[in-house]
């Protein structure tokens, strides 16, 4: 298909503050193939989308999610991470079947695309059902099976979760025109033994797979690790060889100065999850310091059970607010930095320089925001508007890989009625 967005205001993210006024953008197949004055030959046969009064920007990249957890939204709230996870979430997750994952994922993907997210990095269970939802919906995702130790080794060749990870990676990495990629995901240092983490690292090496892991999320995790291993969680993962792989580490709330150095030296990406960290009272990650030192920081919602939504504009907003407040410094994490974390930095975490930007040759993962709203007028500064005023619901069109997935409240690839029915059935069975 061929599309032209006509007369759009365009935030390219090529350069922090570059905003093109009244610009035309041409999409051919899965690629942005023209920006600016387009000639008749270029636009021939294209569907013309009137984008006047609207802002075109790269789709948002959600850097840490558990998308099927929409099923557990508003189910266990106002408690510590340990109580929440071990007494409520893990026991319920034991009961999940493939259909729950499939419909829970589709529900989460509907929420993601309706609020401007075009790509997400996810770790969960029943991954074939999750991947099927990603494939059918048209969204982009890096997917991994969260691994937790059952046996204590030392031989993990029969480990069910590790073997599922390998099978999943072989089957899905690069699938759906490259929209789906895989990763290996040791859940966390408190749910995986050192020997297991080492085995995962060795397997990842064999398949040249990236890593997705929870890291240093709570003070309890940090202090237990010091007690048990005499080092920080970051140092622990480093010593086990995890950072030899391209790694996305979620949370990093309690990382030290030395940990930040390890992350910079090993090119480890850190996912900042402000809503989840606030809600579970995990603490506030040292994002300004990590950014200043050169860590690639991205933004994530975490699962809908600890947020309790998948709205990335809320994370952008919080990331731009909380560090100012807790440090009593209004200069920390400006609007442009928060937007970079949700776009280009996310693309860098995935090793893709043709994503998260509007430029010729980039992947056509774009969103359109309706700026003709009372809470967005007047537009003094587009960047500020996006970080401080825009709501997820202002997104009026979401395109991934050159296909429109959502337009003016309508889902083009997902049957909303069918998903509602599937969710109702899962809810009744589970609760
Ligand atoms: Ni998580």
**Are residues 41 and 187 both part of a single domain?**
no
CA separation for the pair 75, 88 (Å, rounded): 9
**Residue 282, pLDDT above cutoff 90:** yes
In this predicted structure, what is the pLDDT of residue 16? 63
Please name the residue ranges forming H helices in 249-397: 257-265, 274-279, 287-293, 312-327, 335-342, 344-349, 382-384
Give pTM, 2 decimals. 0.98
**Are residues 21 and 163 both part of a single domain?**
no
Best CA proximity match to 185, nearest among 91, 250, 111: 250
- How does pLDDT run across 328-349, given as a tens digit for each residue? 999 999 999 999 999 999 999 9
- Give the Å distance between the CA of 249 and the centre of ligand 1: 10
CA separation for the pair 337, 209 (Å, rounded): 29
- Give the Å distance between the CA of 425 and the centre of ligand 1: 25
If you average pLDDT over residues 23-52, what whole number do you get?
96
CA separation for the pair 326, 407 (Å, rounded): 38
Output the CA angle 312-109-410, nearest 5 degrees.
Answer: 100
Indicate the average pLDDT of the chain: 96
**Are residues 133 and 16 both part of a single domain?**
no
- Give the Å distance between the CA of 65 and the centre of ligand 1: 6
**Residue 82, pLDDT above cutoff 90:** no
In this predicted structure, what is the pLDDT of residue 80? 87
**Are residues 41 and 125 both part of a single domain?**
no
List CB contacts of 23: < 8 A, sequence separation 6 or more.
7, 8, 9, 10, 35, 36, 56
**Residue 152, pLDDT above cutoff 80:** no
Task: Answer positive or negative: Cα dihedral of 342, 182, 253, 108.
Answer: positive
- Give the Å distance between the CA of 287 and the centre of ligand 1: 17
- Give the Å distance between the CA of 112 and the centre of ligand 1: 16
Q: Tokens 């990249």 map to which residue?
A: 61
**Are residues 185 and 303 both part of a single domain?**
yes
**Are residues 75 and 123 both part of a single domain?**
yes
- Give the Å distance between the CA of 147 and the centre of ligand 1: 13
Last residue of a domain, one of 331, 350, 369: 350
Q: Tell me if 72 is assigned to some domain.
A: yes
Instruction: Tally Cβ neighbours within 10 Å of residue 292.
Output: 11
CA separation for the pair 130, 332 (Å, rounded): 37
Contact 362, 32 (CB under 8 A): yes
**Residue 17, pLDDT above cutoff 80:** no
| Burial class of 239 by CB neighbour count within 10 A (0 to 12, 13 to 18, 19+) | middle
Contact 55, 13 (CB under 8 A): no
H or E segment at 24?
strand 19-28
- Give the Å distance between the CA of 232 and the centre of ligand 1: 19
Best CA proximity match to 180, nearest among 350, 358, 414, 416: 350
**Are residues 131 and 106 both part of a single domain?**
yes
- Give the Å distance between the CA of 225 and the centre of ligand 1: 19
Task: Answer positive or negative: Cα dihedral of 417, 114, 379, 358.
Answer: negative
Last residue of a domain, one of 300, 332, 350: 350
Angle between helices 160-172 and 127-137 (to 10 degrees): 20
In this predicted structure, what is the pLDDT of residue 69? 96
If you average pLDDT over residues 74-93, what whole number do you get?
91
**Are residues 35 and 176 both part of a single domain?**
no
- How does pLDDT run across 111-141, given as a tens digit for each residue? 999 999 999 999 999 999 999 999 999 999 9
Q: Tell me if 223 is assigned to some domain.
A: yes
Contact 376, 390 (CB under 8 A): yes
Q: What is the CATH number of the domain that holds 369?
A: 2.30.40.10
Range of 404's domain? Answer: 2-59+357-411
If you average pLDDT over residues 270-284, what whole number do you get?
97
User: Tokens at residue 48, please?
Assistant: 């013309």
Domain count, the chain: 2
Bridging pattern class, strands 247-251 and 211-215? parallel
- Give the Å distance between the CA of 84 and the centre of ligand 1: 12
Distances (CA, A) of 149 to 59, 96, 153, 197: 36, 19, 9, 9
- Give the Å distance between the CA of 315 and the centre of ligand 1: 14
Distances (CA, A) of 347 to 76, 288, 356, 365: 32, 20, 6, 11
Q: Tell me if 419 is assigned to some domain.
A: no
**Are residues 119 and 198 both part of a single domain?**
yes
- How does pLDDT run across 194-222, given as a tens digit for each residue? 999 999 999 999 999 999 999 999 999 99
Is 141 in a helix, a strand, or coil? strand
Q: Tell me if 428 is assigned to some domain.
A: no
**Are residues 264 and 398 both part of a single domain?**
no
List phi, psi (to 5°) of 328.
Answer: 45, 50
Q: What is the CATH number of the domain that holds 171?
A: 3.20.20.140
Q: Tell me if 427 is assigned to some domain.
A: no
Q: Tokens 């940990």 map to which residue?
A: 259
- Give the Å distance between the CA of 406 and the centre of ligand 1: 26
**Are residues 299 and 369 both part of a single domain?**
no
**Are residues 273 and 381 both part of a single domain?**
no
């Amino acid at each position: 298909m061929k599309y032209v967005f006509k007369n759009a205001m365009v935030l390219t993210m090529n350069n922090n503050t570059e905003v093109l006024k009244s610009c035309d953008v041409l999409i051919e197949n899965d690629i942005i193939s023209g920006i600016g004055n387009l000639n008749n030959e270029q636009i021939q046969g294209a569907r013309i989308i009137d984008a006047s009064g609207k802002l075109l920007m790269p789709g948002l990249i959600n850097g840490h999610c558990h998308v099927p957890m929409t099923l557990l939204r508003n189910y266990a709230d106002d408690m510590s991470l340990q109580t929440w996870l071990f007494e409520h979430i893990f026991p319920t997750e034991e009961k999940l079947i493939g259909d729950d994952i499939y419909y829970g994922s589709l529900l989460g993907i509907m929420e993601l695309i309706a609020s401007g997210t075009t790509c997400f990095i996810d770790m969960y269970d029943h991954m074939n059902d999750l991947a099927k939802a990603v494939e059918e919906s048209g969204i982009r995702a890096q997917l991994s099976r969260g691994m937790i130790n059952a046996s204590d080794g030392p031989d993990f060749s029969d480990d069910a979760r590790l073997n599922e990870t390998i099978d999943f990676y072989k089957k899905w990495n690069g699938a759906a025109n490259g929209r789906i990629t895989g990763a290996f995901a040791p859940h966390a240092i408190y749910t995986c033994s050192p020997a297991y983490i080492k085995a995962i690292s060795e397997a990842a090496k064999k398949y040249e797979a990236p890593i997705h892991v929870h890291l240093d999320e709570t003070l309890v995790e940090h202090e237990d690790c010091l007690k048990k291993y005499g080092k920080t969680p970051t140092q622990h993962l480093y010593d086990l060889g995890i950072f030899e792989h391209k790694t996305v580490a979620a949370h990093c709330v309690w990382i030290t100065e030395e940990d930040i150095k390890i992350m910079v030296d090993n090119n480890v990406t850190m996912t900042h999850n402000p809503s989840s960290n606030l809600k579970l009272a995990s603490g506030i990650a040292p994002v300004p310091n990590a950014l200043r030192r050169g860590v690639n920081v991205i933004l994530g919602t975490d699962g809908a059970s600890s947020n309790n939504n998948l709205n990335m504009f809320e994370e952008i907003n919080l990331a731009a607010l909380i560090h100012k407040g807790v440090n009593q410094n209004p200069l920390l994490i400006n609007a442009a930095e928060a937007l970079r974390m949700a776009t280009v930095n996310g693309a860098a975490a995935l090793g893709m320089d043709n994503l998260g930007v509007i430029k010729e040759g980039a992947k056509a993962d774009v969103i359109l925001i309706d700026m003709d709203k009372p809470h967005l007028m007047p537009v003094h500064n587009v960047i500020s508007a996006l970080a401080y005023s825009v709501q997820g619901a202002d997104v009026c069109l979401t395109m991934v890989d050159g296909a429109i997935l959502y337009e003016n409240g309508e889902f083009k690839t997902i049957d909303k009625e069918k998903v509602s029915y599937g969710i109702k059935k899962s809810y009744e069975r589970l609760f």
